[in-house]
Structure 1
Amino acid sequence: MRVETLMTTPVLGILPSASIGEAIRTMLSRRISGLPVIDESGALVGIVSEGDLILRGEFGTESNASWWTQLLKGSGQLASEYVRAYGRRVSDVMTTDVQTIPPGAPIAEAVKLMQQHRIKRLPVVEGGRVIGILSRADLLAELDRLITTPQPTPDDNALKAAIEKSLATRPWGGLIDVQVKAGEVHLTGTIFDDRERRAAIVLAENAPGVKKVVDDLVWMEPISGTVLAP
């Protein structure tokens, strides 16, 4: 799955010369948490988000560094922080170091960027222009579609084979036995960490066609050899 299949288009952006009030009203009315900042030529120059707008002098939440920290920062850095806390234009408060992604990138790459940089959205850029936005909300909408779309129901033998194949790829799945009857999965065997129990159940529940999972796994404490039934 690629970014272009999930991104939101057309792009709702804002000019760097716009007021922060306009940015706030746009975000509130559209129920979004950030806007790409796009100049008159159509180039991406920044992004303005809720996070950029809450460290404000009006709230008393602006940076109040100690005298020692102020000395280390220097007057230029302190001046920039003042502008971010009291500026009235989008260009005053926007983040300029923006992470972007091309439309053909895999979704896994987009999620990795979001996690690494702790961001909620990625402008999708092609040829120097923003052609879409991929947000966490877009990913959640697709996840909801994937887990709620009815899947073809295989017969019991095919279901058993699919679960066993998936278990074989997991380091905790080697000693788990699977039986299936009328879509009901019966798990038996040995686990060495009780967290493996829930993992095995989740794996079985995710197989298309499973109606119920019965857990009869036995937990063996690996050091003492003590056996604990479910």
Structure 2
Amino acid sequence: MRAADVMTPDPVCISPDTSIIDAARLMLERKFSGLPVVDAGGRLVGIVTEGDLLRRTETGTQPKRARWIEFLMGSGRLATEYAQTRGRKVSDVMTPEVQRVTEDALLEEVVHLMGRHQINRVLVVRDGKLVGIVTRANLLHALASVAAETKPGPTSDTSIRERLYAELKAQPWAPVGLINVVVRNGVVHLSGTLLDERHRGAIRVAAERIPGVKAVEDRLVWVDPVSGMVVPAFEQTTAPPGKAS
């Protein structure tokens, strides 16, 4: 999927000359945590978020530091901070470096930007002009819609076993040669040896996501590769979400 497939088109935005008070009111009224900032020609110039409005002299939350720290910071940074904590317009507090993508960007790129920069939204532009916004909520809606449209595949015990082995063989962490899989009436029975206890949960997830699986019965035994200590299997049966075990 691409950004254009999930984005909110024509998002609400504000001008750099908008007052900070008006921006805060709009964010509260519309329940937005951030607003794109565009110039008179519709070109994206920045974004203002709740975080940009946290440090303000009006609320007494502006940064307060010792003189020697301010000296080390330098006059330029102090001047920028002064404008951000006392400015009256959005242009004084907004973040000009905005993470943006085009409409053809893959969702993989969008998620990468969100994770790398610890942000909740990525703006979508066309020829420099804002055309949409992709938020984490948009991605969740996309996930839900894809899950709802997923059609069940083959559900025979043989096909389930083949699909599980194929999935595990494609994963570099999976101890395929140490585990056994038996499927009866849609129930996946796991047995064998694990050298890392964390593999247990991942193998269970791989099994539960296969269409037709009714439950997973875990009899895997964990062996500590350092001490050689064997931890007997704690038999556990789980069912995929939405199914009874």
Where do 1:70-81 residues align within 5 Å?
70-81=70-81
Give the aligned partner of residue 217 of structure 2.
214
Note the aligned Cα RMSD (angstroms): 1.6
TM-score w.r.t. length of structure 1: 0.93
User: Alignment partner of 1:11: what SS?
Assistant: coil
Once structures 1 and 2 are overlaid, which stretch shifts more, 139-148 or 200-209? 139-148
Letter in 1 for 2:162: A
Shift of 1:125: 1.1
Gaps of 5+ in 1: none
Gaps of 5+ in 2: 234-245
Shift of 1:79: 2.3
Where do 1:165-176 residues align within 5 Å?
165-170=166-171, 171-174=173-176, 175-176=178-179
Q: Take 1:4 and 1:173, find their aligned partners in 2: how far apart are those partners?
A: 39
Q: Take 1:173 and 1:12, find their aligned partners in 2: how far apart are those partners?
A: 50
Question: Structure 1's 227 and 117: CA in aligned 2 closer, same or farther, altered over 3 A?
Answer: same
Give the aligned partner of residue 86 of structure 2.
86
User: Alignment partner of 1:58: what SS?
Assistant: helix
Aligned residues: 230
Once structures 1 and 2 are overlaid, which stretch shifts more, 120-129 or 72-81? 72-81
Question: Structure 1's 221 and 77: CA in aligned 2 closer, same or farther, altered over 3 A?
Answer: closer
Shift of 1:20: 1.5
Q: Take 1:187 and 1:33, find their aligned partners in 2: how far apart are those partners?
A: 46
User: Alignment partner of 2:196: what SS?
Assistant: coil
Give the aligned partner of residue 25 of structure 1.
25
Give the aligned partner of residue 109 of structure 2.
109
Give the aligned partner of residue 226 of structure 1.
229
Letter in 2 for 1:193: D
Shift of 1:229: 1.8
Where do 1:46-195 residues align within 5 Å?
46-149=46-149, 151-154=151-154, 155-170=156-171, 171-174=173-176, 175-195=178-198
Shift of 1:80: 1.8
Q: Take 2:229 and 2:165, find their aligned partners in 1: how far apart are those partners?
A: 26
Q: Take 2:149 and 2:28, find their aligned partners in 1: how far apart are those partners?
A: 31
Q: Take 2:61 and 2:79, find their aligned partners in 1: how far apart are those partners?
A: 16
Shift of 1:134: 0.7
Q: Is the 8 A contact 1:173 1:200 kept in 2?
A: no
Question: Structure 1's 210 and 149: CA in aligned 2 closer, same or farther, altered over 3 A?
Answer: farther
Shift of 1:208: 2.1
User: Alignment partner of 1:78: what SS?
Assistant: helix
TM-score w.r.t. length of structure 2: 0.88
Deviation readout 1:27-61 (Å, 9 max, x if unpaired): 22222211110010111110000111111122322
Q: Take 1:225 and 1:216, find their aligned partners in 2: how far apart are those partners?
A: 19
User: Alignment partner of 1:113: what SS?
Assistant: helix
